[in-house]
């Protein structure tokens, strides 16, 4: 029988111990998890949509495999809507409920804090940029992060008294993914690509800065994750199909014993770096 009311949907404890459900959680197959929820509770798609705070149309697409969930804040909504126990949350890559509710690091949780968007995290990001010995940036254009004079990180990086190594991965303006991304955010391909080229030109100006060793490379795939890493702390957000990365929730990840999120995303960045290419002759990335 379908759960009554409009609060969270509760699965029996035995359901969360099933191997097939746990495998779906580990694979982050949210559609399968929601189908299990329907099986064990009798909840309709409309009921699940209410419990998770997602629209019914979106819920239908997820359940039927027409939409893939990538945003961490949506994972959190689904976990809360299904009253997911902490061991199940861990399989999905989320912090324990107590840590998530407090917004602070508890025990060995990797998600130390969740910011609603970049604006809320801005002060901390600037502080990190002003003190870290190494910064890694995975973005699309990086205009709002690094390229412009009033960008979020440009001031802290250029005005600091100590040296810093910066690796910046930007979307290749010549890759087909650039036009796809432009269409996703309802921007003309010409303007979008021009923005990337402007960013590359402005980043090249930092090549002579005495305290910044900047390496810039270009990747070809459609962007999903936006990463800012300062030494051992990583800030993760997502590029949605209709919004830019700075509007996404920002998850602060710290290295933890036996942690998989921080390690996995750092490895993803390093792999993309190996597969990327330097911009044209004379650009900042040509120094190595």
User: Cα(114)–Cα(178) distance, rounded to whole angstroms?
Assistant: 29
Concatenating the DSSP letter of every residue in 139-177 gives -SS-IIIIISTT-TTHHHHHS-SS-EEEEEEEE-TTSHH
Q: How far apart are CA 120 and CA 53, in angstroms?
A: 22
Select the highest-mean-pLDDT range: 16-25, 213-222, 262-271: 213-222
Alpha-carbon span 103 to 116, nearest angstrom: 11
Neighbours of 112 (CB within 10 A): 19
Supply the pLDDT for residue 256. Answer: 67
Quote the CA–CA distance of 70 and 60 in Å, as a whole number: 16
Tokens of 255: 């290295």
% the chain with pLDDT above 70: 88
Model pTM score: 0.62
Beta bridge partners of 234: 229, 253
**Which two three-digit tokens encode residue 190?**
């010409």
CB contact at 8 A, 211 and 218: no
pLDDT tens readout for residues 179-208? 999 999 899 999 999 999 999 999 999 888
* Residue 178 host element (H or E): helix 176-184
Please provide the average confidence, as pLDDT, over all residues in the chain. Answer: 85
CA dihedral 102, 75, 58, 7 (to 10 degrees): -50
What domains sit in the chain, N to C, each tagged with a CATH number?
13-94 (1.10.260), 115-287 (3.30.870.10)
Beta bridge partners of 171: 219
Per-residue pLDDT at 286: 39
Phi and psi based region of residue 214 (left: phi greater than 0; alpha: psi -120 to 50; beta: remaining)? beta
pLDDT at 98 over 70: no
């Amino acid at each position: 029988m379908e759960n009554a009311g409009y609060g969270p949907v509760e699965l029996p404890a035995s359901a969360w111990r099933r191997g097939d459900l746990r495998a779906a959680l580990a694979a982050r197959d949210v559609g399968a998890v929601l189908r299990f929820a329907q099986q064990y509770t009798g909840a309709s798609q409309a009921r699940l949509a209410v419990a998770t705070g997602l629209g019914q149309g979106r819920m239908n697409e997820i359940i039927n495999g027409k939409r893939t969930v990538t945003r961490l804040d949506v994972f959190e909504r689904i976990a809360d809507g299904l009253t997911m126990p902490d061991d199940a949350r861990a399989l999905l890559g989320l912090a324990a409920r107590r840590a998530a509710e407090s917004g602070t690091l508890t025990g060995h949780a990797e998600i130390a804090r969740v910011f609603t968007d970049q604006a809320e995290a801005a002060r901390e990001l600037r502080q990190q940029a002003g003190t870290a010995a190494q910064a890694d940036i995975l973005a699309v254009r990086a205009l709002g992060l690094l390229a412009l004079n009033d960008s979020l990180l440009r001031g802290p990086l250029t005005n600091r008294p100590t040296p810093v190594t910066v690796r910046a991965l930007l979307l290749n303006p010549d890759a087909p993914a650039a036009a796809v991304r432009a269409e996703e955010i309802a921007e003309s391909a010409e303007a979008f690509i021009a923005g990337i080229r402007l960013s590359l030109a402005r980043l090249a100006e930092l090549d002579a800065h005495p305290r910044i060793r900047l390496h810039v490379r270009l990747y070809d795939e459609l962007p999903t994750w936006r990463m800012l890493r300062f030494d051992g702390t990583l800030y993760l957000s997502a590029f949605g199909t209709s919004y830019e990365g700075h509007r996404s929730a920002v998850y602060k990840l710290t290295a933890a014993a036996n942690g998989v999120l921080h390690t996995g995303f750092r490895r993803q960045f390093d792999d993309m770096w190996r597969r990327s290419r330097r911009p044209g002759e004379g650009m900042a990335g040509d120094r190595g």
